[in-house]
Amino acid sequence: MKNRFCICTLLFLLTFFRGTAQDSSAVNKPTDSLSQQKDLMDVIKKIFPPKKTDTTKKKSSVTILPAIGYNPSIGFLLGINFLKAFYMGDPSTTKLSVGQLDFSYTTKNLVIARFRTNLFTKDNKWNLQGNWQYTRNYVNDYGLDGDARRDPPVNYPIRFNYFRLTEKAYRNLGNNFYAGGGISIDWRNDIEDKNHDSSGAYTPHYQYSTDKGFNPDNYLVNGFIVNVQYNTREHPNRSFGGMYADLNIRYNTKILGSTKESGQLYTELRKYISLSAKDPEHVIAFWYWGSYILWGKIPYLELPATEYDTYNRSGRGYTLGRFRGPSFADFEIEYRFPISQESKLFSGVVFSNFQTASDANNKGIFKYIEPAAGGGLRILFNKKSRTNICLDYAVGKYGSSGVFFALNEAF
């Protein structure tokens, strides 16, 4: 298995960097104009023509969208999403900025409130990224290492409050490179480890917490961040070409109130290759997301895991936190293709992903690989922002499978 994984990883990296220069021409000259495309809003307007309004009144620049979603981790999600996409400078020299505020509730009694920003100042001089959120969260934990690979699996439900405040600032160094720093505050409290609380069982969360010296009821991971980024994506929501690479070193320190001192390395790579200059929506997309502990100790629910990326979309086929460890990596590949050739209303994807995690002592990161694969349907929700409604079905190991429903692509 390890040899096969090394071969897959090598192929992934070779394909990832192949065509970095040559794919830009395919995405810079798309033949499809917005006037030819038809999104879901166009369909709704045709069925229910809007009433004539006073055109002298100033229209709001904020888009209000339903927050809809489903996956096995949270159940059905329903809420409201406020989205603002704008340019802080000349669009020919400045990337699109996005601000998003959403509130939602799920059928598994999760409460989610988030405010996320990705801003580019004039001429891309600075890139400012923020992520503020509160979640009354719920995970079905499966333990670490061998516990997570039991077949049939044994799960340990955990409910907790999660507060996050992250702000990062990148300075443009030229040639699409950025560097900077930031701060992140992550606090989990009111942790209800159901099996331990009801029967005193030594659950993986309780065992790990006591072994590593953490209070199993609450803990903080607060730290400074140093960042390096490379970004040539031609669109933030659904790119037809380009690359995104991000490397963060995080120092969690008691100076900021962290429960323990530790260091972590976060890495992310995305590569988009358009297969056709005539129809750039035929895209092969690659994604690698990894987090590795460098020193010290981090608490159990902070350990990187399935769906622990920024938008909780990694590892389709498995639930939130299905695999976790002090070090963790996820590799994904996806083929995106149009179904409605002219209107672009419908499109599809097929994908696969591979996850690996170390044990509690940070050993054996590539010893076991957990694969999943699936396919999905896309409905163009808003052609101006390239927002898709995404409906995916994925199958993993250990009897794991699920439907995943959300706005915007997984990566």
**Is the distance from CB of 386 to CB of 34 less than 8 angstroms?**
no
What average pLDDT values come out for the chain (411 residues) when binned by 10 residues?
Answer: 43 43 42 68 72 53 79 87 89 90 92 94 94 94 94 94 96 94 97 90 94 96 96 90 96 97 97 93 97 96 94 93 96 96 92 96 92 96 86 95 89 94
Report CA-CA distances (Å) from 1 to 6, 303, 370, 395. Answer: 9, 24, 10, 19
pLDDT at residue 34 in the model: 72
pLDDT at residue 11 in the model: 44
Q: How far apart are CA 169 and CA 179, in angstroms?
A: 8
Can you count the helices (H) and strands (E) in the chain? 5, 16
DSSP 40: H
pLDDT at residue 56 in the model: 47
| Domains by residue range for the chain, with CATH | 2-49+62-407 (2.40.160.50)
Report CA-CA distances (Å) from 58 to 42, 51, 53. Answer: 22, 16, 11
For residue 89, what are the β-bridge partners? none
Closest CA to 249 of 300, 164, 182, 306: 182
Q: How far apart are CA 183 and CA 167, in angstroms?
A: 6
Q: How far apart are CA 79 and CA 69, in angstroms?
A: 9
pTM: 0.83
DSSP 324: B
Cis peptide bond N-terminal to 299, omega within 30: no
Pairing state between β 370-382 and 97-106: unpaired
For residue 91, what are the β-bridge partners? none
